Structure 1
Amino acid sequence: MDRTIATLALAGALAGPQAALAQDAGGVYNLGEIHVTASGSSDVNVVPGAPANTSARAQTAPFQSATPAPLGGDTVTAEKIDAFGKTSLDKAVELTPGVIANDGAGSRNEQLVFVHGFDRTQVPLMLDGVRIYLPADNRLDFGRFLTGNIAEVQIAKGYVSVLDGPGGVGGQINLVTRKPTKEVEGEVGSALDFGGPGWLTGQRAWARLGTKQENYYLQAAGAWDYSRGWAMPDAYQGNSIQGTGLRGHSGQRDTSLNLKAGYTPNATDEYSINFLRTDGEKGAPYAVNYPINSQRYWSWPYWNTQSLALLTHTVIDPTLYVNTKLFWNRFDNALDMYSNAAQTLQNSPKAGYSPYHDWSLGGSVEVGKVLTDWDTVKAAFHYRRDQHNEQSQYFTTNTGSTGGCTANVVCYIAPRLTSTEDTYSLALENTIHATPTVDLVQGFSYDWRDLLAAHILDSGVKPYAVRAYPAQTDGAPNAQGAAIWHYNDTDKLYLSVSDRIRFPTLFDRYSTRFNSTLPNPTLKPERAVNVQLGWEGYVAPRLKLASDVYYSHVDDMIQTVNLSATLSQSQNVGKADFVGADFKADYAVNEDLDVGGHTALIHRTLAIPASSTVQLTGVPAITGFGYVSWRPLTNLTLTPSVQIAGARLTQNVAATAYFQTGAYAMLNFQAEYKALVNLSFFAGGKNLTDRLYVLTDGYPEPGRTFYFGAKATF
């Protein structure tokens, strides 16, 4: 291979998240989209619990199989998700170092995710490269996203290409769905969940059917997950708020539907329409250590998201491509608030019904051009319009009505509130192929937003009036750079620096949170500078190692500050510094035995005014994961694993003090028996030692659980 082809192939694979040079059957190099592993680089995956290319799910392709692994990040494959029984996104992401989940939302019963210490507002969530964004507050619940139709989860840590759009100050998570590769293919499966002494606590099922023809493909996939609750650990003694047995109000239901149609007129171009809908409902457990009459009695009768997207990839000539994305997203959410713990009565100021009906629409265009054998340029433009709509209902005269009220009958419907905002990003990325093995990447973007309308309720008058905030526009630049050295065919060393901003949400700036928060329209964006040095490679033919160290500095960090016992506000509290390191190892001892794991260290500090007491919560200083995958028989795989975490800072339920909690070592196990080539049975357990531990004050984690199921592929 001559220098021109070698440098172009390498540069295309590493220059950004969308473009690479793909070699077709005739040896002609086209500016297409392929995964980094297809370009001949080092990402040879060790799949725990399955020899290469034997997993049923390994035979299906991800929808965007072209998307390279993020620089300095990691990819969690479907095979890993299956091997460890990770059925939802919040559990799946913990299979990579530096990423942890936490139910830190307390009474909201939301599963949070932190990437290198950055939370869900600072780490965009994407579906096949299209952002999932909640227009009001972007308080995504990662536990609502099922993994049954996920080919891989791509996790960027620190460095997120400016070509991907605004908001990625601390990382990015991209859910890559599967697409068919055969004329007829599919999968169907089901499982039962058990807790405590053997109670049936839930059941789940999933199915997929697809076809790949010469010039098109079609697929339909769905998943369903129902739980009536989870069992408390035996060590929990119980009290008047929460007894032993099933956790009160911990039940939930989730369904998802994914439809996909694609047109592939030739070897390089692809045009697809994709539809995803998730429907959910959930309860919200009560804090076990706080007076029951002081708690929130909440539940969500529906928590639904919907996405419709048109994605295109067109190769104009061997050196020029164009990608476009058009999308329309909906988010429908309702919160029921009750007056009593049994959730049967609504007749007090704390009772209400708060529905959100939000939508987003927009798109992006990206163009990549190979200028010379040593220079590749890419440019992208992103646009998104977000609209938030809410109209709360109340059950007492204290809120807005001037007449009498009847229990459990809506007494007052507040005025409809609508907020609308446009967000833009213009990005440029250039890759210099300094040598056949070294690439230098420079990126620049400018993000800006236009607030068209923002409304809140004025609770100072009755009936409530609508207060409008003036329109405003603001923006800021972003810059980044990276150097990647592939010093042999399997190993690489990289250094990246990224300087990005994150605009505060509508919720951060304008929400009154049921009259408990003071709006802050002048809230400034956060800015994070991330520096990361990493290495990955093979020190032996079957032993792959990866490590990185990083430093992040955040200016104008946004946190909730308590102004009094009953009033808070989102503020730019000061500066934060994160320092950490990740390490990962996978060793295929032989064809029947794999071992591996990862560990991560992080230290976060927050420099704030002496008058403030805000602290950073939810992230332990040390986490670890280890596994053994053993095949004592050709058709039997046994996979024990252990997950550990140190203590993490939490705030007490009354929001008056901070303390450390949550250290644990948890033993999990899964066994899979392949009865036939396309039929397998699996069983496993989580928290097998039934450890009692708490990540958020007042909210113990699930005790010992078991599951078993079967799946068939064709």
Structure 2
Amino acid sequence: MVRKLSFVVATTLFSGTLLANETINLGQIDIFEKSNTDSKFKSNEISAEEMELQNKNSVLEALNTISGLNTYGYGARGEQTVSIRGFSARHAPVFIDGIAINLPVEGYVDLSNYMTFNLDKIQVTKGLSSPLLGINTFAGAINLVTKRPTKELEGTLSTGVFNGKGRKSYLNLATNQGLYYVQASGSIMERDYYPMSSDFKSNSNQDNKKRVNSYKNDQNINLKVGFTPNETDEYAFNYINQKTDKGMPVDVNTNGKKGNPYRQWPYSNKESFYFLSNTNFDLGYIKSRVFYDKYEDSMNFFKDSSYTQLKFDATPYDASTKGISLELGQFDTLRNSLKLALHAKQDVQKEDDSGKINRNKMNYFSIGLENTFRVTDDFRVIAGASWDKDDVKEANNKKPDIYYGAEFEHTSHSSFNPMIKVEYDIDDSFSTYAGVAKKTRFASLKEKYSYKFNSYIPNPELKPEQTINYEIGANKLYENQGIKAVLFYSDVKDYIQSEEIDKTNEISQNKNIGKVKHMGYELEYFYAFENNLDFDASYTRLLTKNKEVNKDTGKKDLITDAPKHKIALSATYRPIKALMANVNMQFSSSRHTDSKSNAKDVSSAAIWNAKIAYELVKGLTWDIGASNIFDKNYEYSYGYPESGRVVYTNMTYKF
């Protein structure tokens, strides 16, 4: 019998048998890689236990352990997120319990602001994502699944400290009374600064002690109430309140004269209300998600590094997203299962520019169909398609000029995205699959309409980017180990890239001028030794190619934030029941951060982390550890060094 690793949580399939016999977390999304063998690997899922084991406090840190994903940053904005197989965060929506949370204007989300303490798992789908997920799943999708209680009374209380005058505390309390359940959680994580690596060479902007303007405060409250009238039906309301305020460390190479480098986020808040349901019928089910998200933030720009005098008035940002998603599914009938999904969403953004209110409004609609036909018990064909549409309803121009009037042109685009995938289980331990999918990404409001501090001319005519994703994979389990391999290839056209249209004033514009290819492979391996030692590793090889020559430079633009090599390792040893030690490492090779020049390439880095935990008495655990234990000086964005060594300790009680 295959020995299961302690961190493995099997991804489940919405088949008739499962729906009839067990309750599935409403927050999960459909992921194609669902075979019994594939579910043993971490390439599509990381559990709460594994995140705690490796002390991954933020979603950003957790995702960096998954093959094909790489952390990168938006430099001066102080934001960080992940790429999937070399594609930016705009190409892979982030969901909470199946509800997209990407910011309306930017089209991405700062994952360093999202903590893992209230999560049950993180799901990741790449390349061949389901057409049921909605718009913009160009490279894949990321889903944060919040906790759901299973016991009459359960909870976690934890507190800890770390370098940089850092503190963290979180509390989870929950009850499941059969007919209903309640889950409440809250967390605070804050620091005054993060320490610099001792290898960093000090300059006029930054010493090698404390990162200037790197304070950060994160707070989160989550309340979930659910009603379960029977074994299959479930109805839940979830409320999330998230607040962040933080400094934005400057480019250590800045002269302070270009790009307004001295910035802070006095607040960046998000409030979410949503309702989830699953109702079973004789032949199928209907799932619903109704949601409303409210975003508020403001960015302050200062005259100099003293951060005492504002350079100009702050620009408060107010946005909201509301919508509904429905999924209607048929249980297996004569080896066939059919699912239909409908998504409707509206994004509204308001910006206060010195008393003048500018608004943007965008509607999105998607209808997806997916059919699974089981030719035999071991051979499945999955085919489907989605029809996606965006529709601009309002687009105020805050700077009417010779190019555009007071209102930008309202545009609308639609796209048909078919896919097909075949799965074959050679035996109970050996599975294979292959598939192809067309995917589309609509341009974000910022890409269409932003002037970017007078360095860009808007382009309301931006078309959707399109890709054909090809993928083939196999995984094999042995008695206490497993190996998985995936080959992928993406052929992209209408890629959005900037083109300089006014060389004298250095003015650029986004255009659909790119044709690129992303290709590579992912390898994953795990081994469960007999002496309570678990080991897992993954390797990603990524090759990218820009097929178009930039008319401004006469050269092909470089593809940024797409390192050629990515390695993730983790080893966990449990010599006795109460004692655990973990060592993990994430490596990424050098990368381009400027599409026009390799002068701003950042070097490769291997970041090692370690943790020891001991259960003092039943339920009470003390741990101590360090991230970046070798104090490596490294960057994800040129000029923005990451934290040096951070030592931490925590006390956690679970019941």
TM-score category, normalised to shorter length: over 0.9
Helix, strand or coil: the match of 1:121?
A: helix
Paired with 2:35 and 2:473, the residues of 1 have a C-alpha distance of 20
Change (3 A) 1:264 1:339: same
Residue of 475, 488, 492 corresponding to 1:550: 488
Shift of 1:29: 6.5
Question: What corresponds to 2:523 in structure 1?
Answer: 583
Equivalent residues of 2:411, 2:461 under 8 A apart? no
Paired with 1:647 and 1:121, the residues of 2 have a C-alpha distance of 22
One-letter amino acid of the counterpart of residue 59, structure 2: L
One-letter amino acid of the counterpart of residue 355, structure 1: P
Task: Say if 2:634 is the partner of 1:634.
Answer: no
Paired with 1:583 and 1:543, the residues of 2 have a C-alpha distance of 14
Task: Say if 2:250 is the partner of 1:289.
Answer: no
Shift of 1:472: 2.8
Paired with 2:372 and 2:38, the residues of 1 have a C-alpha distance of 21
Equivalent residues of 2:524, 2:538 under 8 A apart? yes
Paired with 2:270 and 2:108, the residues of 1 have a C-alpha distance of 13
Task: Say if 2:142 is the partner of 1:178.
Answer: no
Task: Say if 2:323 is the partner of 1:323.
Answer: no
Paired with 1:40 and 1:691, the residues of 2 have a C-alpha distance of 39
Moved more, 206-215 or 506-515: 506-515
Task: Say if 2:500 is the partner of 1:500.
Answer: no
One-letter amino acid of the counterpart of residue 545, structure 1: I
Q: How many residues align?
A: 636
Paired with 1:180 and 1:30, the residues of 2 have a C-alpha distance of 14
Shift of 1:431: 1.2
Paired with 2:622 and 2:102, the residues of 1 have a C-alpha distance of 37
Paired with 2:543 and 2:39, the residues of 1 have a C-alpha distance of 31
Equivalent residues of 1:530, 1:552 under 8 A apart? yes
Task: Say if 2:587 is the partner of 1:648.
Answer: no
Equivalent residues of 1:19, 1:31 under 8 A apart? no
Task: Say if 2:426 is the partner of 1:487.
Answer: yes
Change (3 A) 1:207 1:547: same
Residue of 166, 181, 184 corresponding to 1:220: 184
Shift of 1:466: 7.6
Change (3 A) 1:273 1:615: same
One-letter amino acid of the counterpart of residue 302, structure 1: Y
Question: What corresponds to 1:271 in structure 2?
Answer: 235
Paired with 1:184 and 1:460, the residues of 2 have a C-alpha distance of 63
Residue of 96, 105, 108 corresponding to 1:127: 96
Task: Say if 2:118 is the partner of 1:149.
Answer: yes
Question: What corresponds to 2:132 in structure 1?
Answer: 163
Task: Say if 2:632 is the partner of 1:682.
Answer: no
1:232-261 Cα deviation digits (max 9, x unpaired): 111123111112211001111111111100
Equivalent residues of 2:278, 2:286 under 8 A apart? yes
Helix, strand or coil: the match of 2:50?
A: helix
One-letter amino acid of the counterpart of residue 448, structure 2: R
One-letter amino acid of the counterpart of residue 88, structure 1: S
Task: Say if 2:310 is the partner of 1:373.
Answer: no
Shift of 1:711: 0.6
Identity %: 27
Change (3 A) 1:239 1:32: closer
One-letter amino acid of the counterpart of residue 304, structure 1: N
Question: What corresponds to 1:403 in structure 2?
Answer: none
Equivalent residues of 1:31, 1:321 under 8 A apart? no
One-letter amino acid of the counterpart of residue 83, structure 2: F
1:607-657 Cα deviation digits (max 9, x unpaired): 2234145321112100112222112232111112222221111229xx766
Question: What corresponds to 1:401 in structure 2?
Answer: none
Paired with 1:470 and 1:562, the residues of 2 have a C-alpha distance of 22
1:663-710 Cα deviation digits (max 9, x unpaired): 112221111111122110111111111111223221112111111111
Equivalent residues of 1:447, 1:475 under 8 A apart? yes
Change (3 A) 1:711 1:371: closer
Change (3 A) 1:31 1:229: closer
Shift of 1:566: 3.6
Equivalent residues of 2:58, 2:113 under 8 A apart? yes
One-letter amino acid of the counterpart of residue 77, structure 1: S
Question: What corresponds to 1:4 in structure 2?
Answer: none
Counterparts in 2 of 1:436-515, with a 5 A limit?
A: 436-458=377-399, 467-515=406-454
Helix, strand or coil: the match of 1:82?
A: helix
Paired with 2:496 and 2:245, the residues of 1 have a C-alpha distance of 29
One-letter amino acid of the counterpart of residue 145, structure 2: V
Paired with 2:428 and 2:629, the residues of 1 have a C-alpha distance of 42
Shift of 1:534: 1.0
Task: Say if 2:372 is the partner of 1:431.
Answer: yes
Question: What corresponds to 1:96 in structure 2?
Answer: 66
Q: Which runs of 5+ in 1 are unaligned?
A: 1-12, 47-68, 195-199, 394-412
1:155-203 Cα deviation digits (max 9, x unpaired): 0011111111111010100001111111111101011111xxxxx4311
Paired with 1:707 and 1:32, the residues of 2 have a C-alpha distance of 35
Paired with 2:37 and 2:25, the residues of 1 have a C-alpha distance of 17
Helix, strand or coil: the match of 1:509?
A: helix
Helix, strand or coil: the match of 1:487?
A: strand
Equivalent residues of 1:21, 1:33 under 8 A apart? no
One-letter amino acid of the counterpart of residue 166, structure 2: G
Equivalent residues of 2:386, 2:417 under 8 A apart? yes
Residue of 321, 329, 348 corresponding to 1:360: 321
Paired with 1:495 and 1:363, the residues of 2 have a C-alpha distance of 32
Paired with 1:681 and 1:159, the residues of 2 have a C-alpha distance of 41
Paired with 2:499 and 2:615, the residues of 1 have a C-alpha distance of 54
Paired with 2:156 and 2:25, the residues of 1 have a C-alpha distance of 26
Task: Say if 2:534 is the partner of 1:594.
Answer: yes
Paired with 1:277 and 1:619, the residues of 2 have a C-alpha distance of 33
Question: What corresponds to 1:19 in structure 2?
Answer: 14
Question: What corresponds to 1:301 in structure 2?
Answer: 266
Change (3 A) 1:29 1:271: closer
Relative to the length of structure 2, the TM-score reads 0.93
Question: What corresponds to 1:419 in structure 2?
Answer: 360
Shift of 1:416: 0.5
Task: Say if 2:654 is the partner of 1:713.
Answer: yes
Paired with 2:35 and 2:212, the residues of 1 have a C-alpha distance of 52
Change (3 A) 1:484 1:343: same
Paired with 1:293 and 1:472, the residues of 2 have a C-alpha distance of 37
Relative to the length of structure 1, the TM-score reads 0.85
Equivalent residues of 1:582, 1:599 under 8 A apart? yes
Task: Say if 2:345 is the partner of 1:384.
Answer: yes
One-letter amino acid of the counterpart of residue 150, structure 1: L
Paired with 1:79 and 1:612, the residues of 2 have a C-alpha distance of 50
Question: What corresponds to 2:605 in structure 1?
Answer: 664
Equivalent residues of 1:190, 1:711 under 8 A apart? yes
Residue of 235, 238, 246 corresponding to 2:199: 235
One-letter amino acid of the counterpart of residue 683, structure 1: I
1:451-510 Cα deviation digits (max 9, x unpaired): 11101212659xxx9811233322111111111112323432111211011110111111
Task: Say if 2:142 is the partner of 1:202.
Answer: no
Paired with 1:558 and 1:44, the residues of 2 have a C-alpha distance of 35
Helix, strand or coil: the match of 2:16?
A: strand
Residue of 513, 518, 526 corresponding to 2:465: 526
Residue of 41, 46, 59 corresponding to 1:76: 46
Helix, strand or coil: the match of 2:52?
A: helix
Shift of 1:659: 4.2
Question: What corresponds to 2:4 in structure 1?
Answer: none
One-letter amino acid of the counterpart of residue 550, structure 1: F
